[in-house]
Amino acid sequence: MTTNTIVLQGSVTPDGTLEVEGKVPLPPGKVQITLSPMPDLPAGDPFFEMLRHIWAMRQKAGLQPRTVDQVEAERRHFRDEIDEEIAEAGRLQEECWQARQEPP
């Protein structure tokens, strides 16, 4: 059984119902929900006001943050590229060593 854990944000309304922001990216079926309150950002703090403005502009522009799967795929891609570069450096070092061992 594959577990597709996702993290969504939402709000509990005054009547106690839950409103989830956006669509839930899971197939239809039963889910288990664990809720934890989000900390309030300090009111009037310039840094957090700037973040709120950025978040609002990104939402207005329809931009969505990358998913965990997208971030992990990019991280794996970069790791694979680095592994290839390290292997190539090792091959070059071996070629140079072999060349130094041959008589002139």
Give a yes or no: residue 77 inside a domain.
yes
Enclosing domain of residue 30? 10-101
Helical H runs in 8-103? Answer: 46-60, 68-101
Residue with tokens 């009547």: 15
Give a yes or no: residue 28 inside a domain.
yes
Give a yes or no: residue 70 inside a domain.
yes
Q: Letter for the amino acid at 45?
A: D
Q: Is 9 exposed, middle or buried (0-12, 13-18, 19+ CB in 10 A)?
A: exposed
Read off the pLDDT band of 8 (50, 70, 90).
Answer: confident
pLDDT, residue 5, reads: 78
pLDDT, residue 2, reads: 58
Give the span between the Cα atoms of 51 and 46, in whole angstroms: 9
For residue 5, the number of C-alpha atoms closer than 13 Å in the C-beta half-sphere is 1
Give a yes or no: residue 5 inside a domain.
no
Give a yes or no: residue 49 inside a domain.
yes
Entry pTM: 0.42
pLDDT digits (tens, 9 = 90+) for 15-68: 989 888 888 888 888 988 888 888 887 788 899 889 889 999 999 999 988 888
Structural domains of the chain, count: 1
pLDDT digits (tens, 9 = 90+) for 63-90: 988 888 999 999 999 999 999 999 999 9
Ranges assigned E (strand) in 1-104: 10-12, 18-20
